[in-house]
Homo-oligomer: A and B are copies of this chain.
Amino acid sequence: MEQQILYYMGVSILALAYAAFLAVKVGKIKVDDKKTLEISDAIREGAMAFLNREYQYIFAYMVVMSLILAAALKPEAVVGVSFLIGGTLSILAGNIGMRMSTKANVRAVHAVKESMNAGLQVAFSSGLVMGLAVVGLGVLGVSVVYLMFFDVNNATLTNNVIFGFGFGASSVALFARVGGGIYTKGADVGADLVGKVEAGIPEDDPRNPAVIADLVGDNVGDIAGMGADLYESYVESIIAAMALGVIFISTSNAAVMLPLAVAAVGILAAIVGGFFVKTSGANVEKALNNGIIATAGIIAVASYFITLFMLGPEYMGVYWSILSGILAGVIVGYVTEYYTSADHKPTREIAAAAQEGAGTVIISGLSVGMMSTVIPVLVVCCSIIISFKMAGIYGIAIAAVGMLSTLGITLAADCYGPVADNAAGIAEMGGMGKEVRERAEKLDSVGNTTAAMGKGFAIASAALTALALFAAYQATSGLQIINLMDSYVVVGLFLGGLMPFMFCAMTMKAVGRAAEMMVDEVRRQFREIVGLMEGTAKADYRRCVDISTKAAIHAMVVPSILAVIAPLAVGFILGKAALGGLLAGNVVTGFVIAVMMANSGGAWDNAKKYIEEGNFGGKGSAAHKAAVVGDTVGDPFKDTSGPSLNILIKIVSIVAVLFAPLFPL
């Protein structure tokens, strides 16, 4: 047992304390406008209702799964406990984030009255609360589990409990991403199809019965879903590196502790970086970028000395692995921005294609999305080669830790998005003055860029984490080789490559079905509630929230079970090597499709906005109608199916790692 682990726990507690301080500070902002408070309350109520319903399923699943784990890995039955801890902490992080974001949205509206910077501070601080909660609970959880169950004489036990912890985080992430993704886009597409297209009322119009469900969806998907996704990547990259550290340097515990040290430095850097996020004028985007770059810079420098100090000069290759991870994260973020922002050629080409009709918008958007996978794949490949050359499979895992070490602040920038989006919606619905609405809109539009970059970061980190887990699988499975000349491995590769397609098919279909149900309900309310369109009667928001909740909960079950059953089935039937093939096929295909879907979706969204700004005929033109079709397709791409793949590639890997000892050779 290591004394130094107490330091890392101390840092994580500092993070949580600072998050609490920020939360209180944001909470203190007084809101006296009754109407906006009401809207914000309705959003929080809807969001919490969804979460609570989702938790029932998750808890039932977790209880069953912890028993299965305890029974299956019998001598180390305690893995069931660490599984529960991992899941519970992830839920806690998501819950903190949701409470914060649904509180901050209305406060950002009121702060923005004062200045852009004040609004930015509220939205960003609430994001930082989420970011710090995730990294704080991440490091704390890993440390506690390590302290509680570490046994120097039983490496299997230690491995099992820490991977069990990761599997808990995976399970929550799976439900949060899939369920949240279906919720948010079912509500969004449903609201748009009837509201904007049929009834011709604007976005966020209070007469639209689905408007609250739509705003809830932003929180459910982009806060709870994104948070659980990255919490999973964060803890799993750390534990994979810790597990491989035992092999990398067997004479001391230094390589095992280094991932926690890097993570701890990342936490401190994020807190410092947060102070760089301020603007005197209106350049919100630059302010957020400053924060991220400052944080990444601090980590890049500090981890050099940490590596030198902990591992000694002969192991400095590990540092270059870390650095390759940090750089890969930053580069993928910028590539995402290039392909999805209307400031650059690809998105403008999609907008131009809208003049020929909806068909060409789709073809052009898919083509852009496919092309946008090239650089991220090359970047990840470079990172693999560098980190493996420098420090073997430990290098790959520590590169993932390096990339995710900036998470405190990148997640803050990410969660800023939905808060700003909600703020703009509340300003619109609450009938605030023109200037306030415009400022809120401006905050929101920056949120779209940070959201796109955040998605790129989330996917790249999921891929590196999955590769780190693949490396861990090589160690825990006891395989000497996974030979592509073995037909079982090739079959595993095919099955792994197939999984993302099945998964996407199911989640896209679920969004379609949820949207249909929403369309029927919104049409019914327009038809049956007298005075709704005239603004004299109120829509039944709660009913729409209910529909989205049920549809999402219902549809998340089958794909989630598939993700856990498939690797078990292949492992038991075709053996360990075939399962290795499955992991590899799954991460390759899943990563490329996830990037494609996220970027196609983001580009369609912004192409539509570019036309709305007056290009190619502007709002209401034929080109605009065509672009709306692109956006509708892009919604489940970028917010449901694409992000769900992040979880798929990780959870399949962690299931494999955990159950590896049970499979035949």
Contact = CB atoms under 8 A, between A and B. Distances in A.
Interface of A: 189, 193, 197, 353, 356-360, 362-364, 366-371, 373-374, 377, 380-381, 384-385, 388-389, 393, 396, 467, 474, 479, 481-485, 487-491, 493-495, 497-498, 501-502, 504-506, 508-509, 511-512, 515-516, 519, 580-581, 584-585, 588-589, 591-592, 596, 628-629, 631-633, 636
A377 B494 contact: yes
A474 B483 CA distance: 11
A504 B365 CA distance: 12
A418 B503 CA distance: 35
A363 B482 contact: no
A370 B484 contact: no
Contacts of A358: 358, 629, 632
A426 to B, nearest CB: 27
B381 A512 contact: no
Given A384-B487, A485-B482, A636 B363 contact: yes
A512 B357 contact: no
Given A374-B502, A481-B484, 4 more contacts: A367-B506, A393-B485, A493-B588, A494-B588
A664 to B, nearest CB: 15
A578 to B, nearest CB: 10
Contacts of A511: 363
A357 B196 CA distance: 13
Q: 8 nearest interchain CB pairs? A: A359-B632, A388-B487, A370-B505, A482-B484, A497-B588, A371-B505, A370-B501, A367-B508
Contact of A592 (B362, B396, B512, B589): B589
A629 B491 contact: no
Contacts of A629: 357-359, 362, 629
B488 A385 contact: yes
A512 B385 contact: no
28 contacts: A197-B357, A356-B519, A357-B629, A359-B628, A359-B632, A360-B516, A363-B632, A363-B633, A366-B504, A367-B506, A367-B512, A368-B505, A370-B505, A371-B505, A371-B509, A373-B501, A381-B491, A384-B491, A385-B487, A393-B485, A396-B487, A482-B485, A483-B483, A484-B580, A493-B585, A497-B497, A585-B588, A629-B629
A77 to B, nearest CB: 31
A581 B512 CA distance: 37
Contact of A484 (B353, B584, B636): B584
Nearest to A366: B508
Contact of A482 (B381, B389, B483): B483
Nearest to A373: B501
Given A359-B629, A502-B371, A484 B487 contact: no
B373 A498 contact: yes
A481 B487 contact: no
A169 B385 CA distance: 35
A317 to B, nearest CB: 13
A438 to B, nearest CB: 29
A474 B498 CA distance: 24
A68 B388 CA distance: 35
Nearest to A488: B385
Contacts of A377: 494-495, 497-498
Contacts of A373: 498, 501-502
A466 to B, nearest CB: 11
Nearest to A387: B487
Contacts of A479: 485
A508 B596 CA distance: 14
A633 B630 CA distance: 12
A505 to B, nearest CB: 4
Contact of A360 (B356, B506, B632): B632
A209 B358 CA distance: 23
A592 B363 contact: no
Given A511-B363, A584-B490, A632-B360, A592 B497 contact: yes
Contacts of A632: 357-360, 362-363
A349 to B, nearest CB: 9
**Candidate in A369, A370, A632 with the most chain B CB atoms within 10 angstroms:** A370
A33 B380 CA distance: 64
Given A358-B629, A592-B501, A485 B494 contact: no
Contacts of A193: 356-357, 359
Nearest to A507: B367
Which residue, of A357, A369, A481, A489, has the highest number of chain B Cβ atoms within 10 A?
Answer: A357
A508 B197 CA distance: 29
Nearest to A353: B512
Nearest to A352: B516
A340 to B, nearest CB: 15
A497 to B, nearest CB: 4
Contacts of A596: 501
Contact of A481 (B364, B483, B581): B483
A588 B501 CA distance: 12
Contact of A498 (B498, B519, B592, B636): B592
Contacts of A585: 493, 588
Nearest to A636: B363
A233 to B, nearest CB: 18
Nearest to A595: B501
Contacts of A495: 377, 381
Nearest to A584: B484
Nearest to A487: B388
Contact of A589 (B380, B384, B580, B589): B589
A584 B585 CA distance: 9
Given A384-B490, A484-B482, A592-B498, A512 B474 contact: no
B488 A481 contact: no
